[in-house]
Amino acid sequence: MCHRSMRTLFLPALLSAVGCVGTVDHSQPTAGAASPDEDPTETPTFLSAAFGDHLPGMTADEITRFNEGETEFATAETVADGLGPVFNDTACGNCHTTPSVGGNSSSVFVTRFGTTTFELEFDPLERLGGSLIQVHGIGPAGNCNFVGEVVPPQATIVAHRRTTALFGLGLVDAVNESTFFFVADFEAANFPDEAGFPNVGHDIKNNRDAAGRFGWKAQNPTLHQFAGDAYLNEMGITNPEFPNENCPQGNCALLACNPKPGLNDDGSGVTKFTDFMTFLAPPPVPSRTLAAALGRAKFREIGCNHCHWASFKTGNNASAALNQVTFHPFSDFMLHDMGSLGDGIEQGLATGGFIKTAPLWGVHTLTKFLHDGRADSLENAVLGHAGQAQGARDRFAALSDQDRANIIAFLNSI
């Protein structure tokens, strides 16, 4: 693992530290694997897919797996299934609802907490149930009564994170890992003051370090691991990659009363959830107005595309639906220092001020913006940027009212 002092360094130092990234693939990606500038209207692969649809070009078997995964995603877990003993909700689908199953939520947030040690290092306060709060408990069980966790008074850092949409994540998972290092190299060479770097986490299944791409801090390197993480930490369902129960409020002695000890899911549930996300189509692209087209040009002119890259391309894949597909997330999936916009929580190489660039596709479905929902409009979300994004924010603020309105129209057309 990398020494903590490396976590605040940008990509050149990160990539030179081979010991920190193990067997991460740094090979050059196929030309055109990622671009900050390509326009979605030039590759209209997903224009006809509705929210919640599966990817086009899937086989009958893949459609069956998608449908079975959607059922698993929406099915409520029970105590008999292994729910809890502390959890955030009974089904994944309860939090991912807007505008369809697999979507986002502007009302469902999770809470993380921690503190800073005398050595100025982040302490997730695991001994007190950190860093993620599980707000519900299964109630009486044996001699115990499992209740929801609360932020302990020892916490000096409290962060809230909004539920994000899962649309198109299978495409992100299918991008060659080397592409993300290419993106980081490109940014470092062309706009070093704004350049990001990939988080690096441990790929449990393959026992290797790998570039992260899922979660607010890009803390999960694969979609399968992202699913297993959610099963444990959101529903309390242990599974092969996450076999250990969370100790309620850090009190591991309470697990003696756990009515369903051992492995709750043999991996089949996680696999079905992964199948659903893998084949879930990206957001459909709304109609592009003249104002949006003008806003697209201004978006590039003020440098928003330095972090919000327009297009990526998947690598070779056994599934035709995922093979060499160009898609448009408007994110670079890099960690960037967001200054006062950071949440103070540390995950992997992402220290408190660093957050992954949020994908902008489907942003028109939101009513709350930024990771903690602090902004109530797209314009306020842009104006809320800080840290490495301050330059683009200031250039946006200096635009005429019409130019700012055109950029918002463009964002609503992604």
How far is it, in rounded angstroms, from Cα 119 to Cα 127? 18
pLDDT of residue 28: 53
Round to the nearest angstrom and report the end-to-end CA distance of the chain: 38
| pLDDT, tens only, 188-230 | 999 999 999 999 999 999 999 999 999 999 999 999 999 999 9
Closest CA to 367 of 167, 106, 163: 106
What residues form DSSP beta bridges with 197? 335
The reply to whether omega before 377 is within 30° of 0 (cis) is: no
Cβ atoms 337, 354 nearer than 8 A: yes
pLDDT of residue 30: 54
The residue written with tokens 């998947």 in the block is 314
> Average pLDDT of 8-36?
51
User: Mind giving me the DSSP string for 284-317?
Assistant: PPPPPPHHHHHHHHHHHHTTGGGTS--EEE----
Closest CA to 272 of 62, 88, 85, 76: 62
pLDDT band of 46, cuts 50, 70, 90: low
pLDDT of residue 45: 54
Residue 38 reports pLDDT greater than 80: no
pTM here is 0.92
Backbone φ and ψ of 169, nearest 5°: -70, -25
Share of residues in the chain with pLDDT > 70 (%): 90
Count CB-CB contacts under 10 A for residue 244.
9
Contacts of residue 309, defined as CB under 8 A and 6 or more positions apart, other chains included, come to: 34, 35, 36, 183, 329, 330, 331, 332
Lowest mean pLDDT among 46-50, 128-132, 253-257, 258-262: 46-50
Residue 242 reports pLDDT greater than 70: yes
Residue 49 reports pLDDT greater than 90: no
Residue 17 reports pLDDT greater than 80: no
